[in-house]
Structure 1
């Protein structure tokens, strides 16, 4: 796809930035990512969305929220592919950022320095309540960080933890409500995990 000079001029006028949307499972991260990307599309900006190739829970080539809202995306093996495929657009969206390699912060920073608005969604903590993958570095370098919360299934308070229901010590276990539930700090602590 060829881009004219007006597109690049508009992108540089907007300036690059990094935005992170984070929180626990079922908190609306992907929903917020889709909302921001759709607004960019309404503004007639050139948008490209990426997700890890390994995330095929809902669809192989779309980013899909738990509410079944979706947007077309490009599955990639690693973050360096994002740098190659996203360098000629105005807005880059990245879903499930916690599953990417440690080069993702570098990639996002390079894109932002080139004038691209980068919007990232991902889990900030794993099921053990520890920082997850490249998310801490992305949050540190972002111009804005939005932390969204689910509702604790035990008490109804804001939930910030993703409690794993199935016995497994593996860090990455793709799953939905059969495998995870959102919990607040107190209800998460009841099971001695924090």
Structure 2
């Protein structure tokens, strides 16, 4: 979290539009933190998207496009890697943003499968709020069960391995 994943996704999708490419953008319907329709970064940069409940919907809505953008990929169902494969085989560029690990430091959702199949990967890192080093972990500040807890700075903070391990 807080590494600029959504900001980078928005930047890449806007550049595709500048290049006159047809772009479709999707996000999980459960992500309503900033806006129900738009993908919004922590810096309040935004781009209009289509909230969907399952990844198969992407195939139905992504006809005649050049680029598909997907935010918060870790929240999608287990069909997402196959959907992305189908799109890529059709010559559609697929750009995905998501967390690779949950707050316990375990692989999150479909991200390990997407990373394994990706042609290109850009791994972004936040800065540890405790020591200023590169942060690869999302430390959950509140006690709440379940892997999925949609939240922002009140719920999570970026930590390096050392500072994360101190609290866990």
What interval of TM-score do these two structures reach, taking the shorter chain for normalisation?
A: over 0.9
**Distance across 1 between alignment mates of 2:4 and 2:134:** 12
Deviation for aligned residue 1:153: 0.3
Bigger fraction of residues in strand? 1
The question of 1:160 aligning with 2:119 is answered no
Give CA deviations for 1:109-160 in whole Å, capped at 9, x if unaligned.
0000001000000000000000000000000000011110001000000100
The structure, 1 or 2, with the larger RCO (C-alpha pairs under 8 Å, 6+ apart) is 1
RMSD: 0.6
* 2:21 equivalent in structure 1: 45
The question of 1:139 aligning with 2:115 is answered yes
Give CA deviations for 1:91-125 in whole Å, capped at 9, x if unaligned.
00000000000100000000000010000000000
Paired residues for 1:77-88 under 5 Å: 77-88=53-64
* 2:80 equivalent in structure 1: 104
**Distance across 1 between alignment mates of 2:92 and 2:50:** 17
After TM superposition, the runs of 4+ consecutive aligned structure 1 residues lying more than 6 A away are: none
**Distance across 1 between alignment mates of 2:62 and 2:41:** 22
Give CA deviations for 1:27-51 in whole Å, capped at 9, x if unaligned.
0000000010000000000000000
Give CA deviations for 1:143-178 in whole Å, capped at 9, x if unaligned.
011110001000000100000000012100000000
* 2:44 equivalent in structure 1: 68
**Distance across 2 between alignment mates of 1:190 and 1:53:** 35
Q: Which runs of 5+ in 2 are unaligned?
A: none
Aligned residue-pair number: 168
Q: Which has the larger radius of gyration?
A: 1
Name the TM-score, length of structure 1 as normaliser: 0.86
Could you tell me whether the CA contact under 8 Å between 1:51 and 1:73 is conserved in 2? yes
* 1:123 equivalent in structure 2: 99
